[in-house]
């Protein structure tokens, strides 16, 4: 029976010669299609069954297959490498959606454990793995490639996360204050939130966030905003006088914040903070205030 020609695109290793149907060894009772391939690692020829070779993800010969060469199965480094590969290429991996699913890939050379291992052993802070340092990407929207991976502490990696899904401004560390329309800037440093001010301009707020990172030499991910042509500066503090308010629960209008504060037994500052941070809601008395125009 005439066999169909083998298609190179189905194999990772290069086909050298098709040996046709033959016994794999003396004990084999069934003939199999055998092929001579060129190993992608040692560049030596080796013989393998055609069907089993289609399952190979590396195109390595038996002696060069990953488990045999580096002997690293079960080690911390191998777990790090295999975890990286799974996140970026295995659709069944629980973290694939956040990595491979959004275009994060592993550069072709790092799919070889040997090359990746050699590179990572020369990256600064390799010895700090015993202190909890682990592999991290410098730019979150780029893949695992030279110049974009490092050993970093958990604190640094927390600061280096991409902007949250519920971020409506489009910039890290910047949130809009509904009551005033201004933009508040905060940044996480050593697990603590640091307030950087409130600004009228969205672009200026994002720039202030980036400038703080540069000035303090932090590892946080920047927004990549250029310095605005005109800097408006911080917005004024929220007004506490001259504002008419309406209380939804009491269905009552107040001619000033002072009048509202005295009526419900809280300070003007309490109402001002509620308008600024909690859409006018005061938990202490379970009341909500809005500006009455």
Residue 203 has pLDDT above 80, yes or no: yes
48-68 confidence digits (pLDDT tens)? 888 888 888 778 777 666 444
- Residue with tokens 């970026």, as numbered in its chain: 88
For the chain, what are the domain ranges? 8-68, 70-152, 164-236, 245-291
Domain 164-236 bears CATH identifier 3.30.730.10:
yes
State the average pLDDT over residues 118-140.
87
Residue 150, both tokens: 């490092």
How far apart CA 122 and CA 109 sit, in angstroms, is 16
Task: Give pLDDT tens digits for 238-287.
Answer: 444 457 888 878 888 888 878 888 888 887 777 777 777 777 788 778 88
CA–CA separation, 274 vs 195, rounded Å? Answer: 17
Q: How far, in Å, CA of 151 to CA of 121, rounded?
A: 10
* Strand ranges in the chain using DSSP code E only, listed in sequence order: 14-23, 31-38, 45-49, 134-137, 149-152, 174-176, 183-189, 192-199, 245-247, 252-254, 281-282, 287-291
Phi, psi of 280 (to 5 degrees): 85, 0
Q: How far is CA 261 from CA 151, 159, 244, 274, in A?
A: 53, 39, 12, 12
Number of helices (H) and strands (E) in the chain: give both, helices first. 8, 12
Cα separation, 271 vs 193, whole angstroms: 23
CB 148 within 8 A of CB 178: no
3-42 confidence digits (pLDDT tens): 888 889 888 889 999 988 888 777 778 888 999 998 887 7
24 near 30, Cβ under 8 Å? no
Q: Which of helix, strand or coil describes residue 24?
A: coil
């Amino acid at each position: 029976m005439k066999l169909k020609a083998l298609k190179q695109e189905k194999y990772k290793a290069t086909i050298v010669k098709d040996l046709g149907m033959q016994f794999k060894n003396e004990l084999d009772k069934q003939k199999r299609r055998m092929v001579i391939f060129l190993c992608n690692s040692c560049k030596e020829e080796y013989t393998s069954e055609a069907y089993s070779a289609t399952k190979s993800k590396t195109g390595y010969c038996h002696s060069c297959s990953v488990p045999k060469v580096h002997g690293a199965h079960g080690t911390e480094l191998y777990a790090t490498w295999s975890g990286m590969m799974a996140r970026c290429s295995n659709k069944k991996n629980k973290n694939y959606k956040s990595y491979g699913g959004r275009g994060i890939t592993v550069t072709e050379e790092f799919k070889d454990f040997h090359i990746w291992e050699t590179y990572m052993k020369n990256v600064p802070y390799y010895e700090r793995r015993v202190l909890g340092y682990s592999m991290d990407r410098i730019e979150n929207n780029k893949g695992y490639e030279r110049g974009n991976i490092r050993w970093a502490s958990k604190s640094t990696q927390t600061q280096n996360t991409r902007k949250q899904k519920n971020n409506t401004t489009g910039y890290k560390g910047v949130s809009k204050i509904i009551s005033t329309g201004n933009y508040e800037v905060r940044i996480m440093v050593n697990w603590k939130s640091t307030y950087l001010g409130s600004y009228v301009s969205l672009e200026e707020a994002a720039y202030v966030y980036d400038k703080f990172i540069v000035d303090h030499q932090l590892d946080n991910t920047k927004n990549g905003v250029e310095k605005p042509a005109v800097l408006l500066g911080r917005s004024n503090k929220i007004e506490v006088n001259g504002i008419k308010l309406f209380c939804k629960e009491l269905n009552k209008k107040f001619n000033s914040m002072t009048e509202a504060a005295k009526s419900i037994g809280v300070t003007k500052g309490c109402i001002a903070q509620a308008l600024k941070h909690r859409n006018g809601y005061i938990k202490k008395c379970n009341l909500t205030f809005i500006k009455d125009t």
